[in-house]
Amino acid sequence: MVKVGIVGGTGYTGAELLRLLVGHPNANVTVITSRSEKGVPVAQLYPNLRGLVDLAFSEPDIDSLSGCDLVFFATPHGVAQNTVPAILATGTKVIDLSADFRIRDIAIWEHWYGQAHGAADLVPRAVYGLPEYNRKAIQDADLVACPGCYPTSVQLGLMPLLQAGCIDPTDLIANSASGVSGAGRQASIANLHTEVSDSFKAYAASGHRHLPEIEQGLSDMAGMDVNLTFVPHLLPINRGIHSTIYANLTDTAVDVQALFEQCYADEPFVDVLPAGSHPETRSVRGSNYCRIAVHRPGNGNKVVVLVVEDNLTKGASGQAIQCMNLMFQLPETAGLSMPGMVP
Amino acid sequence: MVKVGIVGGTGYTGAELLRLLVGHPNANVTVITSRSEKGVPVAQLYPNLRGLVDLAFSEPDIDSLSGCDLVFFATPHGVAQNTVPAILATGTKVIDLSADFRIRDIAIWEHWYGQAHGAADLVPRAVYGLPEYNRKAIQDADLVACPGCYPTSVQLGLMPLLQAGCIDPTDLIANSASGVSGAGRQASIANLHTEVSDSFKAYAASGHRHLPEIEQGLSDMAGMDVNLTFVPHLLPINRGIHSTIYANLTDTAVDVQALFEQCYADEPFVDVLPAGSHPETRSVRGSNYCRIAVHRPGNGNKVVVLVVEDNLTKGASGQAIQCMNLMFQLPETAGLSMPGMVP
Amino acid sequence: MVKVGIVGGTGYTGAELLRLLVGHPNANVTVITSRSEKGVPVAQLYPNLRGLVDLAFSEPDIDSLSGCDLVFFATPHGVAQNTVPAILATGTKVIDLSADFRIRDIAIWEHWYGQAHGAADLVPRAVYGLPEYNRKAIQDADLVACPGCYPTSVQLGLMPLLQAGCIDPTDLIANSASGVSGAGRQASIANLHTEVSDSFKAYAASGHRHLPEIEQGLSDMAGMDVNLTFVPHLLPINRGIHSTIYANLTDTAVDVQALFEQCYADEPFVDVLPAGSHPETRSVRGSNYCRIAVHRPGNGNKVVVLVVEDNLTKGASGQAIQCMNLMFQLPETAGLSMPGMVP
Amino acid sequence: MVKVGIVGGTGYTGAELLRLLVGHPNANVTVITSRSEKGVPVAQLYPNLRGLVDLAFSEPDIDSLSGCDLVFFATPHGVAQNTVPAILATGTKVIDLSADFRIRDIAIWEHWYGQAHGAADLVPRAVYGLPEYNRKAIQDADLVACPGCYPTSVQLGLMPLLQAGCIDPTDLIANSASGVSGAGRQASIANLHTEVSDSFKAYAASGHRHLPEIEQGLSDMAGMDVNLTFVPHLLPINRGIHSTIYANLTDTAVDVQALFEQCYADEPFVDVLPAGSHPETRSVRGSNYCRIAVHRPGNGNKVVVLVVEDNLTKGASGQAIQCMNLMFQLPETAGLSMPGMVP
pLDDT tens digits, C296-339: 999 999 999 999 999 999 999 999 999 999 999 999 999 999 99
pLDDT of residue D178: 98
* Backbone dihedral angles phi then psi of residue D270, each to the nearest 5 degrees: -115, 120
Confidence of residue A236 (pLDDT cuts 50, 70, 90): very high
Q: Which amino acid is at C55?
A: L
Catalytic residue among D68, D149, D290, D323: D149
- Our answer to whether residue C149 is catalytic in this structure is yes
Q: What is the dihedral of CA D319, D324, D325, D328, to 10 degrees?
A: 160
Are B308 and C237 an interchain contact pair (Cβ–Cβ within 8 Å)? no
Min Cα distance B186 → chain D (Å) is: 6
- Establish if C286 touches chain D: CB-CB under 8 angstroms: yes
pTM confidence score: 0.98
Are D235 and A235 an interchain contact pair (Cβ–Cβ within 8 Å)? yes
Among candidate residues B96, B285, B100, B76, the one with its CA nearest the CA of residue B186: B76
Across the strands, what pairs with C308?
C242, C291
Q: Quick: pLDDT tens for B50-80.
A: 999 999 999 999 999 999 999 999 999 999 9
- Establish if D192 touches chain C: CB-CB under 8 angstroms: no
Within this chain, do residues C103 and C173 fall inside the same structural domain, yes or no?
Answer: no
What DSSP designation does C273 have?
Answer: P
Read off the pLDDT of each residue in B251-260 and give the average, rounded to a whole number: 96
Residues of D in contact with C291 (CB under 8 A): 47, 50
CB C47 within 8 A of CB D279: yes
Are A202 and D242 an interchain contact pair (Cβ–Cβ within 8 Å)? yes
pLDDT of residue B280: 98
Q: How many of the other CB atoms lie within 10 Å of CB of A131?
A: 22
CA distances C90 to C34, C67, C198, D176, Å, are 21, 9, 49, 55
Residues of chain C where predicted confidence (pLDDT) is lower than 50: none
Q: CA D282, D284, D290, D293 torsion: positive or negative?
A: negative
Element counts in chain C: helices (H) and strands (E): 11, 13
Share of chain C above pLDDT 70, in %: 100
Q: Quick: pLDDT tens for A2-59.
A: 999 999 989 999 999 999 999 999 999 999 999 999 999 999 999 999 999 999 999 9
Residues of C in contact with D12 (CB under 8 A): 343
Across the strands, what pairs with A245?
A174, A305
Listing DSSP states for A61-74 in one string gives -HHHHHTSSEEEE-
Are C46 and D15 an interchain contact pair (Cβ–Cβ within 8 Å)? no
Q: Quick: pLDDT tens for B160-183.
A: 999 999 999 999 999 999 999 999
pLDDT of residue D142: 98
CA distances A195 to B256, C185, D181, D182, Å, are 40, 9, 21, 23
Catalytic residue among A146, A149, A290, A323: A149
pLDDT of residue C270: 98
Residues of B in contact with C278 (CB under 8 A): 201-203, 205
pLDDT of residue B189: 97
Is C138 part of a structural domain of the chain? no
Among candidate residues A149, A128, A96, the one with its CA nearest the CA of residue A316: A149
CB C44 within 8 A of CB C20: no
Is B338 part of a structural domain of the chain? no
Are C194 and A187 an interchain contact pair (Cβ–Cβ within 8 Å)? no
Q: Which residues contact B165 (CB under 8 A, 6 or more apart)?
A: B222, B250, B251
Within this chain, do residues A116 and A193 fall inside the same structural domain, yes or no?
Answer: no
Is C167 part of a structural domain of the chain? yes
Within this chain, do residues A206 and A306 fall inside the same structural domain, yes or no?
Answer: yes
CA C126 to mean position of chain CA atoms: 15
Within this chain, do residues C96 and C174 fall inside the same structural domain, yes or no?
Answer: no
Are D192 and B198 an interchain contact pair (Cβ–Cβ within 8 Å)? no
Read off the pLDDT of each residue in B311-327 and give the average, rounded to a whole number: 98
Half-sphere exposure of B339 (CA within 13 A, CB side): 23
Min Cα distance C89 → chain A (Å) is: 36
- Establish if D184 touches chain C: CB-CB under 8 angstroms: no
Run means of pLDDT, 10 residues per run, chain D, 343 residues: 96 98 97 96 97 96 96 96 97 98 97 96 98 98 98 98 98 98 96 98 94 98 98 98 98 96 98 98 98 96 98 98 98 97 97
Q: How many of the other CB atoms lie within 10 Å of CB of B112?
A: 17
Phi-psi region of A293 (alpha: psi -120 to 50; beta: other; left: phi over 0): beta
Catalytic residue among B146, B149, B263, B323: B149
Are C201 and B285 an interchain contact pair (Cβ–Cβ within 8 Å)? no
CB B143 within 8 A of CB B93: yes
Q: Quick: pLDDT tens for B321-334.
A: 999 999 999 999 99
**What is the extent of the structural domain holding A251?**
150-311
* Backbone dihedral angles phi then psi of residue D127, each to the nearest 5 degrees: -100, 130
- Establish if A63 touches chain C: CB-CB under 8 angstroms: no
Q: Which residues contact B299 (CB under 8 A, 6 or more apart)?
A: none
Within this chain, do residues D102 and D213 fall inside the same structural domain, yes or no?
Answer: no
Read off the pLDDT of each residue in B118-142 and give the average, rounded to a whole number: 98
**Nearest residue in chain D measured CA to CA from A280:** D201
- Measured CA to CA, the distance from residue D38 to residue D236 in angstroms comes to 32
Are B189 and D194 an interchain contact pair (Cβ–Cβ within 8 Å)? no
Alpha helix segments (H runs only) across C223-276: 256-263
Within this chain, do residues C107 and C215 fall inside the same structural domain, yes or no?
Answer: no
Among candidate residues D11, C312, C290, the one with its CA nearest the CA of residue B195: D11
Q: Which residues contact A258 (CB under 8 A, 6 or more apart)?
A: none
Read off the pLDDT of each residue in B223-247 and give the average, rounded to a whole number: 98
Within this chain, do residues B191 and B255 fall inside the same structural domain, yes or no?
Answer: yes
Is B35 part of a structural domain of the chain? yes
Nearest to C281 among B199, B279, B298 (CB): B199
Within this chain, do residues B171 and B305 fall inside the same structural domain, yes or no?
Answer: yes
Q: Which residues contact C146 (CB under 8 A, 6 or more apart)?
A: C95, C96, C97, C129, C316, C319, C320, C323
- Establish if A206 touches chain D: CB-CB under 8 angstroms: yes
Min Cα distance B33 → chain C (Å) is: 31
Mapping DSSP onto H, E and C, the string for C132-187 reads: HHHHHHHHHCCEEECCCHHHHHHHHHHHHHHHHCCECCCCEEEEEEECHHHHCCCC
Within this chain, do residues C189 and C278 fall inside the same structural domain, yes or no?
Answer: yes
Is B343 part of a structural domain of the chain? no
Last residue of a domain, one of C92, C109, C125: C125
Are B235 and C240 an interchain contact pair (Cβ–Cβ within 8 Å)? no
Within this chain, do residues C159 and C68 fall inside the same structural domain, yes or no?
Answer: no
* Prediction ipTM score: 0.97
pLDDT of residue C11: 96
pLDDT of residue C259: 98
Nearest to B187 among D12, D188, D237 (CB): D188
pLDDT of residue B132: 98
- Establish if C276 touches chain D: CB-CB under 8 angstroms: no
Q: Which residues contact C266 (CB under 8 A, 6 or more apart)?
A: none
Are A180 and C192 an interchain contact pair (Cβ–Cβ within 8 Å)? yes
- Establish if A235 touches chain D: CB-CB under 8 angstroms: yes
CB pairs under 8 A between B and C: 133
pLDDT of residue B324: 98
Alpha helix segments (H runs only) across chain A: 12-21, 42-45, 62-66, 80-89, 106-113, 131-140, 149-164, 193-196, 210-222, 256-263, 318-327
Is A182 part of a structural domain of the chain? yes
Q: Which residues contact C238 (CB under 8 A, 6 or more apart)?
A: A193, A194, A197, A198, B198, C179, C180, C181, D343
- Measured CA to CA, the distance from residue D307 to residue D269 in angstroms comes to 13
The kind and range of the H/E element at D244 are strand D241-248
CATH of the domain at A266: 3.30.360.10
Within this chain, do residues B291 and B155 fall inside the same structural domain, yes or no?
Answer: yes
Is D341 part of a structural domain of the chain? no
- Angle B99-B101-B103 (CA atoms, 0-180°, nearest 5)? 80
CA distances A96 to A186, A239, A319, B137, C184, Å, are 20, 21, 11, 51, 36
Nearest to A279 among D201, D235, D306 (CB): D201
- Establish if D229 touches chain B: CB-CB under 8 angstroms: no
| Three-state DSSP class for residue A251 | coil
| Three-state DSSP class for residue C232 | strand
Confidence of residue B81 (pLDDT cuts 50, 70, 90): very high
CATH of the domain at A66: 3.40.50.720
Share of chain B above pLDDT 70, in %: 100
CB pairs under 8 A between A and D: 133
**Nearest residue in chain C measured CA to CA from D21:** C338
Number of domains in chain A: 2
pLDDT of residue A340: 98
- Measured CA to CA, the distance from residue A239 to residue A86 in angstroms comes to 34
Are C48 and D22 an interchain contact pair (Cβ–Cβ within 8 Å)? no
Are D203 and A240 an interchain contact pair (Cβ–Cβ within 8 Å)? no
- Measured CA to CA, the distance from residue A231 to residue A205 in angstroms comes to 5
- Measured CA to CA, the distance from residue B19 to residue B37 in angstroms comes to 18
Q: CA A158, A160, A163, A165 torsion: positive or negative?
A: negative
| Three-state DSSP class for residue B4 | strand
> Strands across the sheet with C143-145, in order?
C27-33, C2-7, C70-73, C93-96, C143-145, C127-128
Supply the mean pLDDT for chain A.
97
Min Cα distance B8 → chain D (Å) is: 16
- Establish if C246 touches chain B: CB-CB under 8 angstroms: yes
List the single best residue of A172, A175, A209, A256 to mutate versus D (max D Cβ within 10 A). A175
Are D342 and C51 an interchain contact pair (Cβ–Cβ within 8 Å)? no
The kind and range of the H/E element at C327 are helix C318-327
Is D323 part of a structural domain of the chain? no
Residues of C in contact with B285 (CB under 8 A): 198-199
Among candidate residues C154, C161, C265, C156, the one with its CA nearest the CA of residue C222: C161
Chains in contact with D, where contact requires at least 3 CB pairs less than 8 Å apart: A, B, C
> Strands across the sheet with A2-7, in order?
A27-33, A2-7, A70-73, A93-96, A143-145, A127-128
What DSSP designation does D147 have?
Answer: P
pLDDT of residue A73: 98
Within this chain, do residues A160 and A302 fall inside the same structural domain, yes or no?
Answer: yes
- Establish if B52 touches chain A: CB-CB under 8 angstroms: yes
- Angle B236-B242-B246 (CA atoms, 0-180°, nearest 5)? 135
Across the strands, what pairs with C331?
none
Q: Which residues contact A126 (CB under 8 A, 6 or more apart)?
A: A96, A101, A102, A141, A143, A144, A145
